[in-house]
A = this chain, B = another copy of it.
Amino acid sequence: MSFSVVVSGATGYAGGEVLRLLATHPEVEVKTVAAHSSAGQRLGDLAPHLRKYANLTVQDTTVENLAGHDVVFLALPHGASAEVAAQLPEGTLVIDAGADHRLESASAWEKFYQSEHAGFWPYGLPELLTSEGKQREALRGASRIAVPGCYPTASILALNPGFAAGLLQPRDVVIIAASGTSGAGKSLKPHLLGSEIMGGMLPYGVGGGHRHTPEIEEKLSATAGEPVQISFTPTLAPMPRGILATATAKVKDGVGEADLRAAWESAYTDEPFVHLLPEGQWPHTKSVQGSNHAVMQLAFDEHAGRVIVTSAIDNLAKGTAGGAIQSMNIALGLEENLGLAQEGLVP
């Protein structure tokens, strides 16, 4: 059988990536593509790489156009998706790739987004270790799913096993991440021009104000059972895709490298998409380019008493669209890897 799907925000990078991956999914049929600004145009004229869907006409993102499908993917600006989602039938599986339903804490939402909290949906990170086991279980049969942000996906996966095993000090976590330019979307800003970014790197949003900070803290705190406090710095790298996150935390007294490796290995050894690399291998963002895999390596800096975990994902795949489709598969009771068999594009 086959599920009918609509993708809204289809002409943006996140929506386009959902379509790129769904093109190889055997059990879904994309019936509708929607985007407000380009409604009425042929998708093939806006996204020539999506040949399978080239002849679909972009519909406006109205509730009428989104309703009546088995699955609705929302890749809209925050605020917009909450508004639409509220009007969709309860039985429809709605997967929000935006921020609106990621945070459980209304106060954190209001502080960082200066708007009313739209509520909290099951968090689409199946590999997350929670107090009730893997988050995967919370997604089975779900009809609403909030897709994690791309930085949080890379950061939380990097540190979660250590907090789940009680090996890490909750204060004084430092995360510094480099993202490809597609993380900033298709917005026409001067610093995103190829002439400006090719050959250079720069930081942005330094100083704790980044909206992904509360998301990372909330999820890690739930796992740790105590408040986890992070310092997060994002940087922009001269590549279209990929996130390389370097996450480091102080270990608790007496914790050594063996304890750390054991915790990460047991957390991910059975996971189809998240992998602790063999010792000596470092995570290269290209090794997961275009794929739903996350790879990481850890090192114990005895000198500094810190574990340093470096993790790599494709911000648009595992970091957004791949994670969304993986969660959809779980919610619908399908094999978790349908539509996600693609290996990393190397070289």
Contact residues of A with B, CB < 8 Å?
13, 16, 19-20, 23-24, 44-45, 47-52, 172, 174, 176, 178, 180-182, 184, 186, 188-204, 206-208, 213, 229-231, 233, 235, 237-242, 244, 246, 248, 250, 275, 277-278, 281-291, 293, 295, 297, 299-304, 306, 308, 310, 312, 316, 341-347
Contact = CB atoms under 8 A, between A and B. Distances in A.
Contacts of A344: 20, 48-49, 51
Contacts of A288: 49
Contacts of A345: 20, 49, 289-290, 345
Contacts of A45: 278, 281
B204 A239 contact: no
A306 B237 contact: no
Contact of A208 (B13, B203, B283, B301): B301
A174 B248 contact: yes
A161 B275 CA distance: 41
Nearest to A290: B345
Contacts of A13: 195, 347
Contacts of A295: 48
A231 B192 CA distance: 31
B290 A290 contact: yes
Contact of A239 (B190, B233, B238): B238
